[in-house]
Structure 1
């Protein structure tokens, strides 16, 4: 029997989409003066609310949050993760991209479509947020790599070969065997390179990641992760892995997750601690941000708590939950709870002595460079 699968909405809930209403002191947080003119990119996130029903349109408040965010682009997950047939996964990915296309068409003053890196700069100039399509599980094409061409034609630009578990391409980070890429997985990396799709290894196992880095002829990324040297966790990356991605010309992005603090509610200080370590290991040209959350803050009300608890249970039933996921372990940095959270983070980095050039790279320029190199335009 097929195990439960998780929609994009459910994935966001259980992977960092939550945020409480800010205390007044954070609502007035200092802002980094370079933010307005910087190209800011969230390496994983998205618009909307985690408590919205499937198919429910974005509200005016959600759209305002996107416009207020100052984000030039955000990588949004299309499709689902979990154990399912290839046909189901492919259909879900296609449907999800078409749904996002409709949102862009409905709100051209807020969103822009991203197919090449130049689209991000254009979105910034037009004061819109570009939506980059990515999948977090390769099951949609795992036994038919020709399907990648169809997905690319529809706008897919970032691909994670595996999620937390094993598929036909390789092992995810929760597989104890750590078997690495399969032959088909190596072929998939080659096909992704030929289509100029960025290879994202955020949820891949250690050996799968090493194999993919070796096989890829283009830069690769860990778009949303943490540092294993700071806090050991299967979703975090070792110094060796961070250096390998940097040597390949890629980037590693820090997420806003409780894994950063050993399962406790993360704070900006936790994010910065991992950023500092990542910069020291990989260099300032190879570090970015992938919040793994929604742009809009959320109120931690009963509806949210019930939704979060239900999704956490379903992730465990599907066998795709990571260690430390609990029904009340809300996944957000509680002092970066604003649509302009990266502006607040930028000022915090500046206060620690990081240069404006370095901050601009971390908040988006490094990702833009990698997108330009991989997408070839």
Structure 2
């Protein structure tokens, strides 16, 4: 199988309008490709043709990515982040099959003025520089409505949706939601793993649920047309959000706790509540998240076991994919930023009882190393396992579009 570039890509590279070394500090960045060697699921010629037909007909959407290049070595990310200028992997996205990507920016790595992140000025700095770069190119379309997704697909481009993973930086200023919407943000998490003024994050031992301010934020997001994400939110707070929201919500990147007892994954109760409200659960592939007792080595088989569990639990209409991948050493990034990304607390057993099953650390998640590889292998896995055209269309984008039409 040979990769081809989307027809809308004309060769632009991040910050081409500036002079390297003069206008910004230069870092040695990971290649816009595979750091550890490419793995593509093999298909027969007939299956390859079927894949091409599906991709040509239906929008392909990733609900959660970080589609920019990280430094080599990844420990340079501390200095890289302080510059506030992340480099979108345009060419790699042009090689991908995604028509729309939800870009979660630098999230907990956004340390421009703070050691801990999630500050309003830092988030705006990060967002503003990315918007400036995107304004100088014409391959990524700033996506503000569902029609932009269809337009991107028709033009051989990618619809780009800026996302904020946690809402700590709005503090007690409800109007900041409107401001972020004005900047183009169309999905926001209520908490990251830490609690904030809105509710409890998933790493907390005690989850007090949605606060009064939290209820106000949910109402304002519903009114302005910003989608809600509960991926990093504590259990009680997530249930409160789903009940309070007048619109369906996303759990953009997670897995099934029934398969692996980790705080980072969601219980059957939460998955069912999200689906009952019409929401969508995206399955994630960040290193060492969606593993199972059957597949303790994290790879696409473990990832897809979570997908099939959620699909069987609530139905094919309520599950999709938010791989949560990037271009660079993702495992190394987790080691370097463990505190900022709440790795230790988020990945422990939910009930805290007994000893969690051991699992091998992988250098990367085979089959899902970065957004490009994920875009190929998820659909190829579905085809190889005899999913129908209709069901593939739903989980690869149709389910997300259904929710976005209602929320946006």
Task: Sort the TM-score into its range (normalised by shorter chain).
Answer: 0.7 to 0.9
* Alpha-carbon distance in 2 for matches of 1:78, 1:138: 13
The residue number in structure 2 matching 1:9 is: none
Cα distance per residue 1:168-193 (max 9 Å; x no partner): 11001111111111111111111111
Residue 99 in structure 1 maps to residue 129 in structure 2: yes
Where 1:36 maps in the other structure, the secondary structure is helix
1:331–1:102 CA distance, 2 compared to 1 (3 A): farther
Cα distance per residue 1:205-240 (max 9 Å; x no partner): 000000000100001010000001111111111122
Pairwise CA distance, 1:202: 0.4
Residue 346 in structure 1 maps to residue 379 in structure 2: yes
Residue 277 in structure 1 maps to residue 309 in structure 2: yes
| Greater RCO (CA < 8 Å, at least 6 residues apart) | 1
* Residue 335 of structure 1, aligned match among 363, 367, 374: 367
* Residue 22 of structure 1, aligned match among 37, 40, 62: 37
For the Cα contact (< 8 Å) 1:149–1:195, is it kept in 2?
Answer: yes
Cα distance per residue 1:81-129 (max 9 Å; x no partner): 4997999722122222222212212321x21101111111111111111
Residue 156 in structure 1 maps to residue 185 in structure 2: yes
Residue 293 in structure 1 maps to residue 325 in structure 2: yes
Larger deviation, residues 158-167 vs 69-78: 69-78
* Alpha-carbon distance in 2 for matches of 1:353, 1:135: 36
The residue number in structure 1 matching 2:241 is: 212
The residue number in structure 1 matching 2:64 is: 44
Unaligned segments of structure 1, at least 5 residues: 1-12
Where 1:346 maps in the other structure, the secondary structure is helix
1:88–1:50 CA distance, 2 compared to 1 (3 A): closer
Pairwise CA distance, 1:77: 1.4
1:212–1:18 CA distance, 2 compared to 1 (3 A): farther
The residue number in structure 1 matching 2:27 is: none
Where 1:194 maps in the other structure, the secondary structure is helix
- Matches for 1:124-135 after TM superposition, within 5 Å: 124-135=153-164
* Alpha-carbon distance in 1 for matches of 2:105, 2:124: 8
Larger deviation, residues 27-36 vs 148-157: 27-36
1:259–1:182 CA distance, 2 compared to 1 (3 A): same
1:46–1:216 CA distance, 2 compared to 1 (3 A): same
1:88–1:223 CA distance, 2 compared to 1 (3 A): closer
1:182–1:194 CA distance, 2 compared to 1 (3 A): same
* Alpha-carbon distance in 2 for matches of 1:18, 1:63: 11
Q: Looking at CA atoms only, which structure, 1 or 2, has the larger radius of gyration?
A: 2
Cα distance per residue 1:104-157 (max 9 Å; x no partner): 12321x211011111111111111111111111111113111211111111111
1:18–1:137 CA distance, 2 compared to 1 (3 A): farther
| CA RMSD, Structure 1 to Structure 2 (Å) | 3.0
Where 2:147 maps in the other structure, the secondary structure is helix
The residue number in structure 1 matching 2:22 is: none
The residue number in structure 1 matching 2:100 is: 73
Residue 364 in structure 1 maps to residue 393 in structure 2: no
1:323–1:51 CA distance, 2 compared to 1 (3 A): farther
- Matches for 1:71-220 after TM superposition, within 5 Å: 71-78=98-105, 80-81=107-108, 89-108=119-138, 110-220=139-249
For the Cα contact (< 8 Å) 1:160–1:203, is it kept in 2?
Answer: yes
1:331–1:169 CA distance, 2 compared to 1 (3 A): farther
* Alpha-carbon distance in 1 for matches of 2:297, 2:314: 26
* Alpha-carbon distance in 1 for matches of 2:345, 2:179: 27
1:81–1:27 CA distance, 2 compared to 1 (3 A): closer
* Residue 388 of structure 2, aligned match among 344, 355, 360: 355
Residue 323 in structure 1 maps to residue 323 in structure 2: no
1:313–1:204 CA distance, 2 compared to 1 (3 A): closer
The residue number in structure 2 matching 1:7 is: none
* Alpha-carbon distance in 2 for matches of 1:250, 1:331: 33
For the Cα contact (< 8 Å) 2:40–2:373, is it kept in 1?
Answer: no
Q: How many residues align?
A: 345
For the Cα contact (< 8 Å) 1:253–1:290, is it kept in 2?
Answer: yes
Pairwise CA distance, 1:370: 1.1
1:271–1:64 CA distance, 2 compared to 1 (3 A): same
